């Protein structure tokens, strides 16, 4: 299932490891470039930090093996795992709705390989994209890149640069694009950009497509 793209199972983590993981998620979401607001039922970074502080207090209280405190800790741990998982599910649903799984980068959650793509990894990424085209978008500093995408390909990675295309370090990536028509914004106007793409299925990637060049208006 596509909803399994993030690891939302924390049961194998110790209390200390879980506290560290939730802290890491809250820190990443605090500065994420896209996720800024959360519906009432979703724990954003502030609520996640409250969960961390409460878990620390309960863990300290349960350290003397008090049966009641240990039970309280277990109950809150279960609720905390559920709250964290709901946050992850919210991020996934937004990314799917926006058709941009790259939004899930730098959220603090661990990524999982989509099992549905496993059988097609070898065949679908053996060849580079056969067609990539580009045009200027409706607004200044925008471009629309279209990449051919055969059946069985999980996602597309698009790279672009307005520097020397022979310098690999100059390329910037937009990974895990679910759609063939990709719009880029905030490009430098009156500048020459180069674009290339490849297919991705889990850890398998195709060769890069031919590079195209577009002058951004």
CATH number assigned to the domain comprising residue 132: 2.60.40.10
Same domain membership, residue 154 and residue 71: no
Tokens for 96, please give them. Answer: 């799917």
Same domain membership, residue 154 and residue 206: yes
Percent of residues, the chain, with pLDDT higher than 70? 92
pLDDT of 113 > 80? The answer is no
Same domain membership, residue 123 and residue 93: no
Range of the structural domain that residue 97 is part of = 2-104
Instruction: Determine the pLDDT at residue 32.
Output: 93
Residue 174: is it exposed, middle or buried by C-beta count within 10 angstroms (0-12/13-18/19+)? middle
CA gap 108, 126 in Å, rounded: 31
Calculate the CA dihedral of residues 97, 1, 87, 11 and round it to 10 degrees: -170
120 pLDDT band (50/70/90 cuts)? very low
Count of structural domains within the chain: 2
CA gap 119, 184 in Å, rounded: 31
Same domain membership, residue 120 and residue 91: no
Query: Which of 104, 138, 161 represents a domain boundary (last residue)?
Result: 104
Same domain membership, residue 127 and residue 88: no
Query: Which of 78, 104, 130 represents a domain boundary (last residue)?
Result: 104
122 pLDDT band (50/70/90 cuts)? very low
Helix (H), strand (E) counts: the chain: 4, 8
CA gap 179, 172 in Å, rounded: 18
* 109 falls within a domain: no
Q: Are 26 and 48 in contact (CB under 8 A)?
A: yes
Query: Which of 104, 132, 147 represents a domain boundary (last residue)?
Result: 104
pLDDT (tens digit per residue) in 49-82: 999 999 998 888 888 888 888 899 999 999 999 9
4 pLDDT band (50/70/90 cuts)? low
* 92 falls within a domain: yes
pLDDT (tens digit per residue) in 26-47: 999 999 999 999 999 999 999 9
118 pLDDT band (50/70/90 cuts)? very low
Same domain membership, residue 142 and residue 89: no
CB atoms within 10 A of CB 155: 19
Same domain membership, residue 212 and residue 125: yes
* 110 falls within a domain: no
Same domain membership, residue 71 and residue 129: no
């Amino acid at each position: 299932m596509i909803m399994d793209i993030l690891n939302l199972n924390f049961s194998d983590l110790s209390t200390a490891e879980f506290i560290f993981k939730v802290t890491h998620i809250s820190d990443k979401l605090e500065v994420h470039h896209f996720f800024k607001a959360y519906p009432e039922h979703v724990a954003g970074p502030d609520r996640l930090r409250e969960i961390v502080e409460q878990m620390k207090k309960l863990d300290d209280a349960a350290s003397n093996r008090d049966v009641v405190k240990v039970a309280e800790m277990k109950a809150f741990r279960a609720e905390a795992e559920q709250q964290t998982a709901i946050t992850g599910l919210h991020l996934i649903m937004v990314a799917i709705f926006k058709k941009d799984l790259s939004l899930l980068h730098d959220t603090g959650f661990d990524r999982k390989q989509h099992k549905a793509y496993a059988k097609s990894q070898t065949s679908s990424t053996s060849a580079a994209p056969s067609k990539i085209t580009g045009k200027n978008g409706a607004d200044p500093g925008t471009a629309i890149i279209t990449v051919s995408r055969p059946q069985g390909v999980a996602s597309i990675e698009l790279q672009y640069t307005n520097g020397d295309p022979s310098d690999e370090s100059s390329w910037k990536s937009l990974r895990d694009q679910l759609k063939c028509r990709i719009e880029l914004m905030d490009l430098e106007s009156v500048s020459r950009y180069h674009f290339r793409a490849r297919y991705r299925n889990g850890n398998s990637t195709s060769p890069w497509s031919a590079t195209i060049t577009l002058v951004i208006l």
